[in-house]
Amino acid sequence: MADLFTAPEIDFVGLLPMLIVFVGGLVGCLVEGFAGRAQRYAVQVPLAVATLVLAFVALVVLAPDHQGITGAGTVALDGPAQLLQGLIVVLALLGMLVMAERLGGQQPDAFTQSGASAPGSAEEAYAGRLGATTTEVFPLTLLSVGGMMLFVSANDLLLLFIALEVLSLPLYILTGLARRRRLLSQEASLKYFLLGSFSSAFFLFGAVLLYGFAGSMRLDEIAAAISSTAGMDGLLVPGILLVAVGLLFKVGAVPFHAWTPDVYQGAPTPVTGFMAACTKVAAFGAMLRLFYVAVEGARLEWQPVVATVAALSMVVGAVLSVVQTDVKRILAYSSIAHAGFILTGLVSMDQAGISSTMFYLATYGFMTIPAFAIVALVRSSGTEATQIGQWSGLGRRAPWLSAGFTFLMLAFAGIPLTSGFTGKFAVFAAAISQGYAWLAVIGVLASAVTAYIYFALVVRMWLGDEAGDTQVAAPSLLTIFAIVAGVAVTLGLGIMPSPLLDLAQSTSVFLR
């Protein structure tokens, strides 16, 4: 790592998209420190949006001509990294628009005015009377996005760990900033922080074991050591599995999923959507690079374990989603099942596995953010109405919003003409081609089970009696754009998936 600061071959143009996001986050922190209270929202939202747009333009215009290994071998700027970075930026932009929703107020509606105050305290009440804002969510989100972009391109275990912490620490804070149900939000933040710390420790312990095996933390050098070293499986196999624990925790795969429903329920709903979509892209991107670049030579040791985790995630996520009565917890257990679906594609260990995994990450992200954006708009007695019973008859009160949510539920279930169907077909086909037909069968059965709760919610929305105190807040243009864009992409990828599938296929080769 010492060579990182003296090596002449650092490609700053290739790193520019990440640098833009990190600089935008740091400028946002300065705005929080020096701008007046009344000006912060007016500055932070355009700054965050402009940062993400500029980063995406840099990715599209400059990055394709600057592929290679840079940063003294610690950063890989290849097709999968750049495609996943672009996906993270686009999804983060949609998530940021939902976070900026004010619903007629003077600050983002979902966030408390005083995150550091005890819920119900005099300090919190004073902050509300003073007109305090929680616009620090925007630079925190940018810093997390920067960590995610670095995470999918890290070619060194130490840099991978640093990126993991950079993306995680802002999320721990954002989870505890909910404006409503403050105690639940702070409890979720503490759980996420504690369990995330444990998973990071597992990751670091595994990285140390792999360093002891290979004498290096570079992924390509670990791969070279696997092909040339014998008799050290006592370091190699535990190292691989411990590093995998840290990554599987981030995607909420079983048995590392315990945090998911509580954190999804307690976090501000826009943060839940951002976290569910973007964190999965980042974690699976890092997992693809680790398994396909560093430890492919030891696949017989870890592949059965990952396949088992995929099966358990699909089964547990599907079965437990059926017994939930809270919409956010339904989507949380659904995300656990989807983690299993994505692992089904990853475990196939061929180029089709890479492309299908990246395609599924895109389909899941564009389904998830608008779904949580709609959840945030359904209100009862001044707070979010997330109980299934409170959604009864919603289709008659808000037919267009309910139609959009119904379509997203169909996509989650994998119904044809939605991106959910094409995504599942891609990962199951990749698994079957490599002898994992049994995983595909479990995936189809799990999809059928989860479809029950999705359709039960849809039936309650359209055919149930209207809940007397449930209302739908009128969204701003920002939230409307995020919902419409997500629904449109979900429909588009269901009808015409070929452009994105071809792009994923053409960028599915890792540099070593």
Residue 245 has pLDDT above 90, yes or no: yes
The residue type found at 373 is A
Q: Note the pLDDT tens digit of each residue in 256-298.
A: 999 999 999 999 999 999 999 999 999 999 999 999 999 998 9
pLDDT reported for residue 2:
45
Alpha-carbon span 501 to 497, nearest angstrom: 6
Beta bridge pairs of residue 251? none
If 0-12 CB within 10 Å is exposed, 13-18 middle and 19+ buried, where does residue 341 land? buried
CA distance 489 to 484: 9
What integer best gives the mean pLDDT of the chain? Answer: 90
- What pLDDT was estimated at residue 193? 94
Instruction: Write down the pLDDT at residue 231.
Output: 67
What would the mean pLDDT of 160-180 be, rounded to a whole number? 93
Long-range pairs, 315-321, Cβ under 8 A, ≥24: 315/254, 315/340, 315/442, 315/446, 316/254, 316/257, 317/254, 317/257, 317/446, 317/450, 318/445, 318/446, 318/447, 318/449, 318/450, 319/449, 321/449, 321/450, 321/453
Alpha helix (H) residue ranges in 131-232: 137-153, 157-175, 182-214, 219-228
Task: Check if the beta carbon of residue 483 is closer than 8 Å to that of residue 403.
Answer: no
Per-residue tokens: 112: 């408390």
Domain-by-domain residue ranges, the chain?
Answer: 8-506
CA nearest 311: which of 337, 285, 332?
A: 337
Distance CA 191, CA 176 (A): 10
Residue ranges of the alpha helices (H) in 100-156? 122-130, 137-153
pLDDT at 311 over 80: yes
CB atoms within 10 A of CB 279: 21
Residue 498 has pLDDT above 90, yes or no: yes
Beta bridge partners of 387: 326
Tell me which DSSP letter residue 230 carries.
-
User: How far is Cα 354 from Cα 373, in angstroms, rounded to an integer?
Assistant: 29
Q: How far apart are CA 31 and CA 110, in angstroms?
A: 21
Q: According to DSSP H, which parts of 378-497 are helical?
A: 394-397, 399-413, 419-433, 437-463, 477-495
Degrees, nearest 5: CA angle 355-408-487 = 75
The whole-model pTM stands at 0.94
Q: Count of CB atoms within 10 A of residue 328's CB?
A: 23
CB 324, CB 354: distance < 8 Å: no
What was the pLDDT predicted at 132?
A: 64
Q: Which of 320, 330, 313 is nearest to 442 (CA)?
A: 313
Cα distance between the two ends of the chain: 18
- pLDDT tens digits along 18-38: 999 999 999 999 998 887 777
| pLDDT exceeds 90 at position 381 | no
As a dihedral over the C-alpha atoms of residue 202, residue 270, residue 374, residue 381, rounded to 10 degrees, the angle is: 110
Long-range contacts of 404-407 (CB under 8 A, 24+ apart): 404/370, 404/374, 404/483, 404/484, 404/487, 405/371, 405/374, 405/461, 406/458, 406/461, 406/462, 407/487, 407/490, 407/491
Token digits for 381?
Answer: 């007695």
Chain centroid to Cα 418, Å, comes to: 20
Q: What is the pLDDT of residue 146?
A: 96
User: Is the separation of the CB atoms in 414 and 406 below 8 Å?
Assistant: no
β-partners of residue 380 are 383, 470
pLDDT 10s digits, 90-109: 999 999 999 988 765 555 56
Indicate the SS3 state at residue 39: helix
User: What pLDDT, on the 0 to 100 scale, is given for residue 144?
Assistant: 96
